[in-house]
Amino acid sequence: MSIFDAAVYAPVQTFMGAPHSYDLSGARAAILGIPFDCGTHPARIGSRLGPASIREQSVLVRPYEPPANDFNPVRNLGLVDCGNARVVPSALAESYATIEEAVWRIASRQVIPVTMGGDGAVTLPQLRALHRVHPDLVVLHIDAHTDTYPGEGGERDRYNTATTFTRAAEEGLIDTASSFHIGARGPTYLQHAFGHAEKAGYRLIPDADLYRRGVADVLREVHEKLAGRPVYLCFDMDFFDPSCAPGVCTPAWGGPSAREGLSLIAALAGLRFVSFDINTVSPPHDVGGMTAFLAATCMHQFLVLACRSLGLTQP
């Protein structure tokens, strides 16, 4: 006999208080945590704890954002929180298979996955899942790093946070010629790192070009190139400057402020988003949960973008 009584027992923390459910029949978007990291970073391991921290900090995120977004995206999307994919950090093959299956079960029902990593390695199996639903998938990757290193060698060399988009290009998961890497900056371990991304076919707009050209001009190109295409938004929290997002795996100084980054996300309204992926929150390196709070705020903006993409902006 069940002892559950809603007047006595409260559910565990979900993202922005969305109901925890695996029933997608009334949902247009679903939250999924992916608590996986490769465990091979030379200095910072901990992004496997990211989903729990983002959920915890999401209690600070309020649904309404007047005047432009004065509606509740959690309600309008029928948002549900599906919990976490059952992964084992550093166990690549089995975790990749589980991530792909978990995301595919959401996306194949025409529900938009909104996922929380995990390190940047969680993106490749998600792209595999989305490609099965959208063969003409394009990627908008906003990150301080290209994640398009060659990675030649054994499994650990080929599959890690730095090689995600190299493998995606090789597997034909996305239309690279119509996909963007935006915001790459700072020193790298690899000479000609930017050249590798361009050789793989991606449109690369480094941080220096973003500000040389102006954000408005870059956004104009993005909207023209991606109009009508199914867009996978991959957002790495190290895109932000470490002054506002210190709790990430690979921080790089010189990035945008919280205001600038959130404004960039808001300006993507009008694109046809089919999936959102935020990653690289590392709670052991965070300060007062500020990076997780900012990540949760970015996810709120993702939900707003989803509402606008689906025409669900009613009060």
What is the domain partition of the chain in residue ranges? 21-36+45-149+157-186+193-310
pLDDT at 101: 97
Tell me the mean pLDDT in the region 239-264: 97
Token digits of residue 221: 């190109």
pLDDT at 43: 81
Instruction: Please state, in angstroms and rounded to a whole number, the distance separating the CA atoms of residues 118 and 37.
Output: 5
Give Cα separations from 245 to 121, 261, 283, 298 (angstroms): 20, 11, 11, 12
Q: Read off the pLDDT band of 11 (50, 70, 90).
A: confident
Residues 281, 122, 253, 151: what is their CA dihedral angle, to the nearest 10 degrees? 150
Look at residue 1 and tell me whether its pLDDT is greater than 90.
Answer: no
| Residue in the block written with tokens 């945590």 | 33
Sign of the Cα pseudo-torsion (231, 148, 125, 304, in order): negative
Write down the mean pLDDT value for the chain. Answer: 95
**Which of 3.30.565.10, 3.40.50.620, 3.40.800.10, 3.10.580.10 is the CATH number of 21-36+45-149+157-186+193-310?**
3.40.800.10
Task: Choose the weakest-confidence range: 14-28, 152-166, 209-223, 245-259.
Answer: 152-166
Specify the pTM.
0.95
88-143 pLDDT per residue, tens: 999 999 999 999 999 999 999 999 999 999 999 999 999 999 999 999 999 999 99
pLDDT at 124: 98
